[in-house]
Amino acid sequence: MLETLQDIGTVVWVDLRFLRRNLTKTMALTLIAPVLYLLAFGYGLGRGTLVEGYSYLDFVIPGIIALTAMTTAFNTSGLKLHVDRLFYKCFDETLMAPVSPFSIIVGKALIGVVRGLMSSAAILAVALAFSPLPTMNLLFPLSLVLTCFAFSFLGVIVALLAKTHQDMTLFMSLVILPMSFLSGTFFSLSQVPDALIAVLYASPLTHACLCLRASALGQPFPWLSLAVLMLFGAAFFGLCFVALKKAIR
């Protein structure tokens, strides 16, 4: 067990050093889009509007945090690994090291989790300056950590399977971008036609939004969504091993 933890630390240490050297630029770039969403949708268009009995600003803040966690975790773990594997070719050194596939996958995903949590905490601090949320319990950080892990593992999968830079861009355009706007981040699912509900609930971000919003606003907590989010994380984790085997061939 101790050896596995040391191997994971060895894998993630290189990425942590890169993050530390570029921390200011990284955080600035990460916060631009969420703050713009917060100003435009929450404080601008939604001012004075009620959704599910809450002000739209309170309603949209958990969705923006979920969106921030998804994009940051996916981009950090996925794009960094993708560039290292195809451009710098330094991922081959990791594969040749006496480190288990488990340690490689968890180590490469952890940097996405770390950045996802940092960015989410930063945008939460900014959001609370606009509108203090009614309530927040321990299920909020739990849901946030699960969200970061799930999308970090997804980023590792795509980075290992992508054969070109265009493949990575295509996945982000066809999957990540639509998921960002169609998972209840900016609107209530009660407003969606019944024919589309099943499609929206197939998105892990939908369940992340439901969990974060319920724990932040004092709504009844959707335990089923938390379980589904955990299942997505476990499934993505398992698929990472399949992708790693294909990448080694």
Could you list the pLDDT tens digit for every one of the 249 residues in the chain?
A: 777 888 888 888 877 787 777 777 777 777 787 778 777 776 666 666 778 888 888 888 899 999 999 999 999 899 888 888 888 777 877 888 888 999 999 999 999 999 899 889 888 888 877 777 667 788 999 999 999 999 999 999 999 999 888 999 999 999 999 999 889 888 888 888 887 888 899 999 999 999 999 999 888 999 999 999 999 999 999 999 999 988 876
Question: What's the token pair of residue 18?
Answer: 């890169």
Contact assessment for residue 73 and residue 152, using Cβ atoms and an 8 Å cutoff: yes
Q: Quick one: pLDDT at residue 235?
A: 97
Q: Which of 19, 156, 15 is nearest to 90 (CA)?
A: 15
Residue 98 lies in domain:
2-248
Q: Quick one: pLDDT at residue 156?
A: 95
Helix (H, G, I), strand (E, B) or coil at 234: helix
Q: Quick one: pLDDT at residue 227?
A: 97
Total Cβ atoms within 10 A of residue 116:
28
Q: Quick one: pLDDT at residue 191?
A: 80
Q: Quick one: pLDDT at residue 243?
A: 93
Question: What's the token pair of residue 98?
Answer: 């006496």
Contact assessment for residue 105 and residue 240, using Cβ atoms and an 8 Å cutoff: yes
The rounded distance, in Å, linking the Cα atoms of 76 and 99 is 22
Contact assessment for residue 186 and residue 60, using Cβ atoms and an 8 Å cutoff: yes
Question: What's the token pair of residue 213?
Answer: 């919003």
Q: Which of 214, 189, 205, 221 is nearest to 133 (CA)?
A: 214
Sequence-separated (6 or more) residues with CB below 8 Å from residue 143: 208, 211, 212, 215, 226, 229
Q: Quick one: pLDDT at residue 45?
A: 63
Question: What's the token pair of residue 45?
Answer: 């268009």
What domain count does the chain have?
A: 1
